[in-house]
């Protein structure tokens, strides 16, 4: 990230937790605007020399040295159906950190940062033609801006571990939870599928919501439902359209009928800032994506057993 961008990050952090997010805008080959949460961007550079990697996924443009560390470089333009940028000297490298791993993305032009109201971010219509690798859209100065589902892009290259370890599987089987029903909230279809599959291994049923607003509505509906249909714990992403995970947690804590719910924030965001925000909104736990055993342990720790039910 350039010095100018670094100088403004502190100002942008003050918006988080209030259903607002700072987005870094860029293009991939035409005038279409794309965005990514600025907190996931470590630095923006001119495309450095890339080392070829043989026998790897087609979206991997190569690897490069980044401050003494070798990181993979992903052609984000190719991932979104544009002409590849791996040979384009004017391309930029956007170095990002997701789920405690670092990688670079090739993009065309870096533009500026903008502040987006969470309510303005909505799931894209299929008619827009972005496909599954865009999970939200909004308008910036009248122009359509699409938010990249980076988790989807990364999972298509390396899905990572999705299974519980044998030890955690045994621990789950030995723990008598009541109820075995939780809510999963995530705007990424890939993330939702992985979480539901993970909790199925633990014999835990999931109520699924695609964003914080839908989650809050479902939780309020469940308050008046049969207790057997209720949930005692919410596993929520942080970055989501309409209502983000911070704002959802605030709403849960401010609603008398919901405030006893346990909340685990589960996100690819990391760092000291995020830890501070988790405390500020009074979430019970934060687990970085995607670490099945750590997430399973958090759920086992927080869900009541039969004696407490």
Which helix (H) or strand (E) element contains residue 285?
strand 285-288
- Contact between residue 233 and residue 207 where contact means Cβ atoms under 8 Å apart: no
| Residue 181 vs residue 88, higher pLDDT | 88
Which pLDDT value is given to residue 178?
A: 60
Which pLDDT value is given to residue 290?
A: 81
- In this predicted structure, the answer to whether residue 179 has a pLDDT above a threshold of 90 is no
Which pLDDT value is given to residue 298?
A: 93
- In this predicted structure, the answer to whether residue 214 has a pLDDT above a threshold of 80 is yes
**Banded model confidence at residue 308, pLDDT cuts 50, 70, 90:** very low
**Banded model confidence at residue 228, pLDDT cuts 50, 70, 90:** low
User: For 158-173, what is the HEC assignment?
Assistant: CCCCCCCCHHHHHHHH
**Banded model confidence at residue 271, pLDDT cuts 50, 70, 90:** low
Distance of CA 7 to the CA centre of its chain: 24
Which pLDDT value is given to residue 297?
A: 93
**Banded model confidence at residue 173, pLDDT cuts 50, 70, 90:** confident
| Residue 53 vs residue 300, higher pLDDT | 300
Bridge partners (DSSP) listed for residue 264? 235, 285
Bridge partners (DSSP) listed for residue 288? 267
User: For 126-137, what is the HEC assignment?
Assistant: HHHCCCCCEEEE
186-208 residues labelled b (16+ CB within 10 A) or e (exposed): bbbebbbebbeebbebbebebbe
Which pLDDT value is given to residue 242?
A: 81
Bridge partners (DSSP) listed for residue 287? 266
**Banded model confidence at residue 217, pLDDT cuts 50, 70, 90:** very high
Tokens describing residue 61? 């443009």
Predicted confidence (pLDDT) per residue in 121-166, tens digit: 888 888 888 888 898 899 999 999 999 988 888 888 876 656 788 8
Eight-class DSSP state of 225: S
Tokens describing residue 79? 């991932």
Predicted confidence (pLDDT) per residue in 236-247, tens digit: 998 888 888 888
Q: What is the mean pLDDT of residues 76-103?
A: 90
| Residue 9 vs residue 216, higher pLDDT | 216
């Amino acid at each position: 990230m350039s010095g100018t961008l670094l100088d403004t990050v502190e100002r942008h952090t003050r918006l988080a937790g209030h259903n607002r997010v700072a987005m870094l805008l860029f293009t991939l080959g035409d005038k279409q605007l794309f965005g990514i949460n600025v907190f996931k961007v470590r630095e923006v550079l001119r495309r450095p020399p890339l080392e070829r990697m043989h026998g790897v996924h087609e979206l991997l443009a190569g690897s490069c040295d980044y401050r003494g560390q070798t990181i993979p470089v992903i052609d984000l333009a190719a991932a979104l159906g544009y002409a590849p940028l791996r040979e384009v000297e004017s391309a930029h490298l956007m170095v990002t950190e997701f789920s405690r791993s670092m990688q670079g993305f090739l993009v065309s032009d870096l533009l500026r940062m903008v502040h987006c109201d969470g309510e303005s971010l909505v799931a894209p219509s299929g008619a827009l033609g972005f496909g599954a690798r865009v999970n939200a859209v909004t308008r910036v100065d009248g122009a359509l801006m699409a938010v990249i589902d980076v988790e989807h892009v990364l999972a298509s290259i390396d899905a990572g571990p999705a299974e519980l370890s044998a030890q955690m599987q045994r621990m789950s089987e030995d723990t008598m939870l009541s109820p075995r029903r939780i809510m999963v909230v995530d705007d990424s279809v890939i993330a939702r599928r992985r979480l539901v599959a993970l909790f199925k291994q633990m014999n835990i049923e999931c109520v699924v919501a695609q964003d914080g607003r839908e989650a809050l509505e479902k939780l309020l509906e469940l308050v008046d439902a049969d207790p057997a249909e209720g949930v005692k714990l919410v596993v929520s992403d942080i970055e989501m359209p309409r209502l983000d995970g911070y704002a959802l947690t605030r709403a849960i804590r401010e609603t008398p009928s919901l405030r006893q719910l346990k909340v685990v924030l589960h996100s690819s965001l990391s760092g000291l800032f995020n830890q501070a925000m988790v405390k500020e909104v009074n979430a019970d736990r934060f687990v970085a994506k995607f670490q099945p055993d750590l997430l399973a342990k958090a759920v086992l720790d927080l869900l009541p057993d039969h004696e407490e039910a």
